[in-house]
Amino acid sequence: MNATRFVLDEDRIPKSWYNIAADLPSPAPAVLHPGTHQPVGPDDLAPLFPMSLIGQEVATEREVEIPAPIRNVYRMWRPSPLYRASRLEKALDTPARIYYKYEGVSPAGSHKPNTAVAQAFYNREAGVQRISTETGAGQWGSSLAFAGALFGIDVQVFMVRISYDQKPYRRALMQTYGARCVASPSEETESGRAILAKRPEHPGSLGIAISEAVEVAAKRDDTKYALGSVLNHVLLHQTVIGLEAIDQMAMAGDDPDIVIGCAGGGSNFAGLAFPFIGLQLRGGKKRRIMAVEPAACPSLTRGKYAYDFGDTAHLTPLARMHTLGSTFTPPGFHAGGLRYHGMAPLVSHLKELDIIEARAYHQNRCFEAGVQFARAEGIVPAPESNHAVAAAIDEALDAKQAGQSKVILFNLSGHGHFDMQAYTEYFSGKLVDQDYDEADLELALAGLPAV
């Protein structure tokens, strides 16, 4: 029997995050002020973020030291395990060797605490008492709620209405950690009220929830804002995943030919992939690096690479990214964490440079893959993570057909213990595979800012 689990000691938690900006062949386009269309400066962002995080957003050094208090919290679950999926390989009868990095061992059940803890720490250092944020599936909201509890910060979460209704236990988890969670669009903000006035039953979207959370932070001196994905500093914090995985693959005596992550805003994908891409950009082995997204919200595979707002009410700066348009409301499919109109600018830039590839899947295929994975490996993946599982399985089946061995590494970004309603609907054949609506998309893209 092959070794199954590759585990590093606590003292192997990375001491620095990896900043891909240092190795990019060309810099990612600047983020612009929505009024002047000039690059934003630190002062523009100061109402929303502490200066330490603004500094990380534009940092150019390759390594950014992880402060000891953050590493001490990481010790609660890091280094996370890397598994060889031998039982899945057997079930697929594939010559491929499949590995997965499992981020579901964190207290909140996903990779999101890697950045939530860092963001809560830097806010605490800056004397911030309150943080507002949005959440899709509830993974990010519960992660920030957990981090807020550790660092003594009040957390208010705007949760996308459809997930709020689908996932009452994620709400209860946030409450358990001491956060206040409201359904978005809400009556608590101007942007929420404006949307409800037009459509009282609005299912919400991450773009709307971001508008609400940003509005609260911009209006209150005691409150800052935190984002769970997309931004450079969030992707930076997630690189602990890939840095550990590089060491663990070496322990396993293998080297991945293909690295896969699901992509909503891009943070878990980047967390695993960027350290491997960095090796390549510094002259190392070329690998296939694949981001996998939902067919119902396909920003990387079908979106336009353009400057756009990060939110629906247009309160944020403009970022150049693959976008479906900031007013696009994706259909209510069951991977709430992947329902975002845009992609991280750094991930988008790498796609434009042809350093990464992207693929989109319908939700029934993803649940089928997740169930097959659970029956072989025991872990029930989050619906978001199932996108990576599906791609890994397809790559392993391609290897079988080609009669070739290949090494596949994917990120199992979270467990699905709070998502069993979605699995129940899958089993009862109720899940609908939706494509995004072409007409809605046209409309949303027509509203892109002229830059």
Ligand X SMILES: Cc1ncc(COP(=O)(O)O)c(C=O)c1O
* Binding footprint of ligand X on the chain (CB under 6 A): 110, 136-137, 139-140, 229, 262-269, 337-338, 382, 384-385, 413-414
Residue 206's H or E segment, with its range, is helix 206-219
Q: How far is 429 from 42, CA to CA, in rounded Å? A: 50
- Nearest CB to ligand X, comparing residues 252 and 270: 270
Q: How far is 4 from 78, CA to CA, in rounded Å? A: 18
Q: Record the tokens describing residue 270, joined without a space.
A: 């980047």
- Nearest CB to ligand X, comparing residues 108 and 279: 108
Distant-in-sequence, close-in-space partners of 57: CB < 8 Å, separation ≥ 6: 45, 49, 231, 232, 233
Closest distance to ligand X from the beta carbon of 266 (Å):
5
Rounded to 5°, the CA angle 337-384-107 comes to 80
Closest distance to ligand X from the beta carbon of 322 (Å):
13
Closest distance to ligand X from the beta carbon of 432 (Å):
21
- Nearest CB to ligand X, comparing residues 110 and 316: 110
Q: How far is 90 from 372, CA to CA, in rounded Å? A: 12
Tokens 């042809």, located at residue: 354
Q: How far is 38 from 27, CA to CA, in rounded Å? A: 16
Q: Record the tokens describing residue 186, joined without a space.
A: 């809400």
Tokens 């000891």, located at residue: 68
- Nearest CB to ligand X, comparing residues 252 and 260: 260
Closest distance to ligand X from the beta carbon of 398 (Å):
24
If one counts every other C-beta atom within 10 angstroms of the C-beta of residue 402, the result is 11
Closest distance to ligand X from the beta carbon of 103 (Å):
8
**Cβ neighbourhood burial of 5 (10 Å; 0-12, 13-18, 19+):** exposed
- Nearest CB to ligand X, comparing residues 104 and 185: 104
CA atoms within 13 A on the CB side of 343: 31
- Nearest CB to ligand X, comparing residues 94 and 411: 411
Q: How far is 103 from 175, CA to CA, in rounded Å? A: 22
- Nearest CB to ligand X, comparing residues 134 and 212: 134
DSSP summary character for residue 104: T
- Nearest CB to ligand X, comparing residues 159 and 252: 159
Helix boundaries (H) for 315-362: 345-352
Closest distance to ligand X from the beta carbon of 387 (Å):
8
Closest distance to ligand X from the beta carbon of 410 (Å):
12
How long, in residues, is the chain? 451
Q: How far is 181 from 375, CA to CA, in rounded Å? A: 34
Which residue number has the CB closest to ligand X?
337
- Nearest CB to ligand X, comparing residues 128 and 263: 263
- Nearest CB to ligand X, comparing residues 278 and 383: 383
Closest distance to ligand X from the beta carbon of 382 (Å):
4
Closest distance to ligand X from the beta carbon of 323 (Å):
15
Gap between the terminal Cα atoms of the chain: 58
Cis previous bond, 185, omega within 30: yes
Q: Record the tokens describing residue 325, joined without a space.
A: 């348009």
If one counts every other C-beta atom within 10 angstroms of the C-beta of residue 26, the result is 8
Closest distance to ligand X from the beta carbon of 86 (Å):
24
* Dihedral angle sign, alpha carbons of residues 440, 441, 442, 443: positive
